[in-house]
Amino acid sequence: MPFLELTLPCTEAQQPRYERALDNVGALAVTLVDAHADAADEQAIFEPGVGETPVWGEMLLTALFAADTPPTLLLHALAAADDGLDWSHAQFRDVADQDWERAWMDQYEPLQFGRRTWIVPWNHELPAQADAPGAAVVRLDPGLAFGSGTHPTTALCLQWLDGLADEGVLRGQRVLDFGCGSGILALAALKLGAAHAVGVDNDPQALIATHDNAQRNGVGAQLAVHLPGDEPVATYPVVVANILASALVALADTLAARVAPGGRIAMSGILAGQEDEVIARYAGAFEQLRADRLDDWMRVTGVRRA
């Protein structure tokens, strides 16, 4: 199926407003590209997961719409959605479905996190190391996804889960993935030995993606998905939240209440320089708080006080 593609330049500060307006008028997908990167640089392409944010100051934002969407009417709808943004630089072109998926499939290779965790696209054969006893393999569609493991925030959380498995912490436990996106973290936890996982996200499409990915990975019966506030009241020995730093600060009481005494938490989506505020906000409920860095992103982990 072909699509109508809209492309326009924007800054990091403007990006959330542009993306929100595009979502409000029915964008099927939004992708961000570093405006100053070489087009051949695969690291410049980033489809943000739910709650994630780009790292570039200036970028090109691309959105897909149904092929029969009239560009002029679309611009009017966008102006009505947010009349404080400049839509005059928007450019349109028709693209084929295979062009969009090919860009992902050409660049997406199996990725290893920690000692045993692998994220492998459906179209790729298992590497020898991933086809071995003890390997935890999550298969994901390399097409339009909410999270594929390529972003540092996701990588930090996957590495942490892999480490918990090495410590024996995950075996037979319940895990909460708050801001689950594609469900990649919940799926990895289950593959690493967790007995049950709950995914929470404010985007119904993310919940559908998580459910579908769980079914494809053979763990559908072990994973439940909910909108925020709809999940059963419970505490968990392991909680992971890959969302924005501002959301982590605002949700500190909510997330602390989800972690069982002595339980572990990992939080990411935190830009370098934001970790001190997050640590200060969680210090009352958690001990052994520490921050770890990958590129420009941080992960904060801690243990719930008894």
Binding region for S-adenosyl-L-methionine: 154, 179, 201, 242
Annotated binding site: 154, 179, 201, 242
Token reading at 82: 């947010």
* Cβ atoms of residues 119 and 184 within 8 Å: yes
Distance CA 40, CA 212 (A): 31
Strand 58-66 to 29-34 pairing: antiparallel
- Count each helix (H run) and each strand (E run) in the chain, helices first: 9, 15
Q: What is the dihedral of CA 210, 216, 218, 219, to 10 degrees?
A: 0
Angle among Cα 72, 73, 79 to the nearest 5 degrees reads 95
User: What is the secondary structure of 174-226 as a DSSP string?
Assistant: EEEEET-TTSHHHHHHHHTT-SEEEEE-S-HHHHHHHHHHHHHTT-GGGEEEE
Q: Buried b vs exposed e over 26-46: b needs ≥16 C-beta within 10 Å?
A: ebbbbbbbbeeeeeeeeebbb
